[in-house]
Amino acid sequence: MLALQYIRENEDDVLEGLKKRGFKNLKIINRIINLDSERRTKQAELDKHLAESNQMAKEIGKLFKAGEIKEANVLKEKSLVYKVKTKKLQDQLQKTTSLLFDLRTQVPNIPHQSVPYGSSEEDNEEVFNSGAIPELESGALPHWELANKYDLIDFDLGNKITGAGFPVYKGKGAKLQRGLINFFLDRNIAAGYKEVQLPLLVNEESGFGTGQLPDKEGQMYHVQNENLYLIPTAEVPITNIYRNNLLDVSELPIALTGYTPCFRREAGSYGAHVRGLNRLHQFDKVEIVRIEKPENAMQALEKMVDHIKSILNELEMPYRILKLCGGDLGFTSALTYDFEIYSTAQKRWLEISSVSTFNNFQAERLKLRFKDVQGKKQSVHTLNGSSLALPRVIAGLLENCQSPQGIKIPKSLVSYTGFDQIK
């Protein structure tokens, strides 16, 4: 959520940023500014009224103490009128404040100045690529056929147990999944991230804090009886560890990592682009989250990008990095880099990680601040990234490492899987 002071002082920049996103309801910014002015006027009026009421109460007390009963009662009658006015002002202020808050929740984050213009993923900017795309022998199979051939993943069984998008991993498929999770966690811990184990259900306040609610409510599984939500990413519970906290500057930066299953009610569609592991309703992911001082956030983002590059280099996978354009940014993001690996069997790029900085957008919603060396309270900047999402990593490994003899496991994973080949 954008800070009110930022909106007031940077109206032109806010409008330009929203245009870059393709955000249509630009009039909402003027309405927010006007409502904020109205709120501050009402607050000042209420504060003045309360001060006069308090002074009146002191005078009534003095009059009673002095035995001037008649004068005290006259003033008391007047104070009752003030109480009615106070209640009216409080109700008006509450209504204005509530409406203002609701409008602010509808406004997405402002893109970083480096974010390119564009309306869709086709306008994203490639900023890095690495690794040669392997040439597979004729008859190479997509991962869903490889999973069936080697009895690694059973999509039909998952459909039987739960429904589409809930696969069952078996044998070496399950061991590969577990090995990758441990590999990612170990690499994150070695890079300075502290591991946490997290709840898979969060309350409404947590969903709001990181921006999933109300923006992505339809994409989240909701446990209605308890009003809880299954997490779409570990970012939600990790970041909410610090909701409503006032940190000391000495506690920053905070760097955390966690593995969780993730749950998403993504709209279903058909075709090869969503077959197999390409799009699931339940999947495993290892996440990294950072909480930083504002002046260090961009450097931290670049370090996160470099960290994920190092992991992909160890996996010996061809990949590229895209800077998302304004029209493809998530609601809460100010700047996002997408990592994609190339699937030779499917002949297309598969997104496997997204690394973002949110500036203080999440912190405003979380009421997460820190006290600097001068004792001044400031909002932190939050960042997160997938390190990594498992399904498409496995899809890429199966497809790109296949041969007539089997599927070769990258050297960095052998100690985690206990085998160097699937055959």
Question: For residue range 14-29, what is the model confidence (pLDDT) as tens digits?
Answer: 999 999 999 999 999 9
Tokens of 310: 């190092």
Residue 300 confidence (pLDDT):
98
Per-residue pLDDT at 415: 98
Euclidean distance between CA atoms 356 and 337, whole angstroms: 6
* Numbered ranges of CATH 1.10.287.40 in the chain: 4-105
Is 270 a residue whose pLDDT tops 70? Answer: no
- Portion of the chain with pLDDT greater than 70, in percent: 98
- The share of the chain scoring above pLDDT 90, in percent, equals 82
Q: Using an 8 Å Cβ cutoff, are 235 and 358 in contact?
A: no
Cα(248)–Cα(265) distance, integer angstroms: 38
Give the number of other Cβ atoms within 10 Å of residue 305's Cβ: 18
For residue 272, what are its two tokens? 């090869």
Alpha-carbon distances, residue 37 vs 32, 44, 93, 110 (angstroms): 9, 11, 12, 22
Top CATH class of 121-422 equals: alpha beta
The pLDDT of residue 44 is: 93
What pLDDT does residue 191 have?
98
Please state the CATH superfamily assignment of the domain spanning residues 4-105 in this structure.
Serine-tRNA synthetase, tRNA binding domain (1.10.287.40)
- 419 CB contacts (<8 Å, ≥6 apart)? 172, 175, 409
Give me the pLDDT at residue 267, please.
56
pLDDT (0 to 100) of residue 273: 65
Q: How far is CA 335 from CA 17, 212, 258, in A?
A: 12, 17, 22
Question: What pLDDT sits at residue 271?
Answer: 53
pLDDT at position 293: 98
Which of 176, 167, 175, 173 minimizes the C-alpha distance to 146? 173
Contact, 288 vs 193, CB < 8 A?
A: yes
For tokens 């390119």, the residue is 116
Q: What is the pLDDT of residues 248-258, one digit of tens each?
A: 999 999 999 99
Taking the C-alpha atoms of residue 224 and residue 311, their distance in angstroms, rounded to an integer, is 39
Strands (E), 177-245: 194-195, 201-203, 222-223, 228-230
Every domain of the chain with CATH number 3.30.930.10 lies at 121-422
Q: What is the pLDDT of residue 372?
A: 93
Q: Enumerate the β-bridge partners of residue 354.
A: 338
Tell me what the mean pLDDT of segment 285-292 comes to: 98
Q: Which two tokens stand for residue 26?
A: 């630009």
Q: Find the length of the chain.
A: 423
Task: Please measure the distance between the N-terminal and C-terminal CA atoms of the chain and give it in whole angstroms.
Answer: 51
Q: What is the pLDDT of residue 423?
A: 93
| 298 phi and psi angles, rounded to 5 deg | -70, -40
Provide the pLDDT confidence category of residue 35 given band limits of 50, 70 and 90.
very high
φ/ψ region of 294 (left if φ > 0, alpha if ψ in -120 to 50, else beta) reads alpha
- The predicted-structure confidence for 152-187, as pLDDT tens digits, reads as follows 999 999 999 999 999 999 999 999 999 999 999 999
Beta-strand ranges (E) seen in 50-118 are: none
